[in-house]
């Protein structure tokens, strides 16, 4: 593993090992020159290939001909930010350092800076870190209205970091955290970086978009239903390890009771409802378009349903507001019933009242007539009884 460059009096040693450390002597006639070779070896766990949220382990070893110095280790991430790692073991010969949990943006070249005062050592050792994961790893909440089209996207960074090794994954959906998961699709990436997706059988109507950015997993819901809400989790696997990212889909719907045109003098209840819990900084709002402040009603914290009573026709809008921004809106147009319908309703009301009055009168007359017949029958019965008693008395005489 070594060559001597006679022209420059140099010794070249390739693929250095810790055992190569020591004192090297160059003899040229009566002259001797000595130099001490101090060797460091830095290794990173999993060969530098990680999934998001994994914690790398660095091992720094040193070897020298003399006493081993006490080293100070400083780390800088791929963005040249200083890190404060956790030192697990320190024996002068072997240093074990645990880093923090990695994110996809941590991919790149890191630097391990080694320093010693005696002997004076200032050595920078660079090492590559590749973190395979999602650009949106944290829980994301997406809002949609009923019958709208929604595309849920998960962006992988495999193309950005040129990840050559193959990995697999799947996309699952469940309505609640404790519910059973339904597998929507699975995917795999070959060693050449080509991505393949396979749609699975499911009771959910969805599509896989044909055109999309590279290293992106997408699901298209062409017509969202209220029960399409829930958690959509994309999970990838590499060498038996997993990483995942979730999107919470919240669906909004509005309804009216009673349904149909609003007649004069009548009331209608408009209901705005979302399919899942809202964060503390989000709420529902009903408002009448071109209305006044009296036509605005906000939901209380954590309310998922908001009702408003309407007595006049117009366009009403329900907004979902988060951090002061309108995320989604759904409109309901309250139509006014035509005039002839109002007349029909008034006529029906008057006719119904007259009919009730006539029926009441008939009932009263019928009751009076029945009472009179009853009294007449009672008097006739008393008369017959009187006659029978008088006839009996005459026979006894």
Cis peptide before 171 (omega within 30 of 0): no
Give the whole-angstrom CA distance, residue 189 versus residue 202: 23
How far is residue 198 from each of residues 216, 218, 228, measured CA to CA in Å?
14, 12, 21
* Three-state secondary-structure class, residue 35: strand
Q: Are 276 and 250 in contact (CB under 8 A)?
A: yes
Q: What is the pLDDT of residue 349?
A: 60
Q: List beta partners, residue 329.
A: 319
Q: What is the pLDDT of residue 339?
A: 55
Q: What is the pLDDT of residue 126?
A: 96
Q: What are phi and psi of 369, to 5 degrees?
A: -60, -40
**Residue from 40, 30, 35 nearest 10 by CA:** 35
Q: What are phi and psi of 241, to 5 degrees?
A: -105, 155
Between CA 319 and CA 325, with CA 321 as vertex, the angle to 5 degrees is 115
Q: Are 289 and 301 in contact (CB under 8 A)?
A: no
3-class DSSP string for 202-271: CCCCCECCCCCCCCEEEEEECCCCHHHCEEEEEEEEECCEEEEEEEEEEEEEEEEECCCCECCCCCEEEE
Burial class (CB in 10 A: 0-12, 13-18, 19+), 220: middle
- Those residues with Cβ within 8 angstroms of residue 64's Cβ, 6 or more apart along the chain or in another chain: 21, 36, 37, 38, 39
How far is residue 13 from each of residues 5, 328, 381, measured CA to CA in Å?
11, 67, 142
Give the whole-angstrom CA distance, residue 312 versus residue 290: 13
Give the whole-angstrom CA distance, residue 350 versus residue 345: 9
C-alpha distance across the termini of the chain, in Å? 165
Give the whole-angstrom CA distance, residue 226 versus residue 54: 37
Other C-beta atoms closer than 10 Å to the C-beta of 3 total 10
User: Which token pair is 219?
Assistant: 């699901």
pLDDT lower than 70: segments of the chain: 338-353, 358, 379, 381-397
Q: What is the pLDDT of residue 115?
A: 93
> Hey, what domains does the chain have and what are their CATH numbers?
21-132 (2.60.40.10), 140-251 (2.60.40.10), 258-334 (2.60.40.10)
Neighbour order of strands in the sheet with 57-63 = 39-44, 57-63, 94-98, 86-90
3-class DSSP string for 293-356: HHHEEECCCCCCEEEEEECCCEEEEEEEEECCEEEEEEEEEECECCHHHHHHHHHHHHHHHHHH
Q: Are 153 and 220 in contact (CB under 8 A)?
A: no
Q: What is the pLDDT of residue 396?
A: 47
Pairing of strands 49-51, 121-132: parallel
Pairing of strands 241-257, 268-274: antiparallel
* Three-state secondary-structure class, residue 109: strand
E strands in 120-215:
121-132, 140-145, 150-155, 167-174, 182-189, 195-199
**Residue from 171, 77, 169 nearest 126 by CA:** 77
């Amino acid at each position: 593993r070594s060559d001597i460059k006679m022209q420059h009096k140099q010794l070249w040693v390739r693929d250095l090992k810790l055992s190569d450390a020591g004192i090297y002597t160059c003899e040229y006639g009566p002259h001797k020159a000595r130099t001490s070779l101090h060797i460091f070896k830095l290794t990173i766990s999993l060969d530098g290939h990680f999934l998001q949220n994994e914690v790398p382990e660095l091992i720094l070893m040193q070897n020298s001909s003399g006493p081993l110095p006490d080293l100070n280790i400083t780390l800088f991430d791929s963005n040249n930010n200083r890190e404060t790692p956790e030192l697990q073991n320190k024996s002068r010969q072997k240093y074990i350092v645990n880093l923090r949990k990695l994110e996809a943006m941590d991919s790149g070249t890191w630097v391990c800076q080694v320093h010693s005062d005696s002997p004076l050592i200032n050595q920078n050792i660079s090492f590559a870190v590749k973190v395979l994961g999602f650009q949106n790893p944290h829980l994301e909440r997406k809002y949609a209205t009923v019958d709208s089209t929604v595309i849920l996207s998960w962006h992988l960074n495999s193309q950005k970091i040129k990840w050559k090794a193959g990995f697999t994954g799947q996309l699952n959906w469940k309505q609640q955290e404790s519910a059973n998961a339904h597998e929507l699709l699975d995917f795999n990436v070959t060693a050449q970086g080509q991505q393949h997706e396979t749609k699975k059988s499911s009771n959910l109507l969805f599509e896989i978009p044909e055109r999309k950015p590279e290293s992106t997993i997408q699901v298209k819901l062409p017509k969202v239903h209220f029960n399409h809400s829930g958690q959509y989790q994309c999970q990838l696997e590499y060498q038996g390890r997993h990483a995942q990212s979730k999107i919470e889909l919240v669906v909004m719907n509005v309804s009216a009771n009673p349904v149909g045109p609003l007649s004069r003098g009548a009331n209608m209840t408009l209901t705005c409802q979302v399919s899942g819990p809202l964060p503390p900084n989000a709420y529902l709002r009903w408002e009448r378009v071109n209305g006044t402040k009296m036509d605005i009603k906000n939901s209380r914290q954590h309310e998922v349903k908001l009702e408003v009573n309407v007595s006049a026709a117009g366009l009403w809008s329900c907004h979902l507001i988060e951090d002061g921004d309108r995320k989604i809106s759904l409109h309901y147009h309250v139509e006014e019933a035509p005039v002839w319908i109002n007349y029909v309703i008034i006529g029906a009301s008057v006719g119904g009242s007259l009919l009730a009055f006539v029926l009441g009168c008939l009932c009263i007359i019928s009751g009076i007539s029945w009472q009179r017949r009853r009294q007449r029958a009672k008097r006739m019965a008393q008369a017959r009884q009187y006659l029978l008693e008088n006839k009996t008395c005459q026979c006894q005489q």
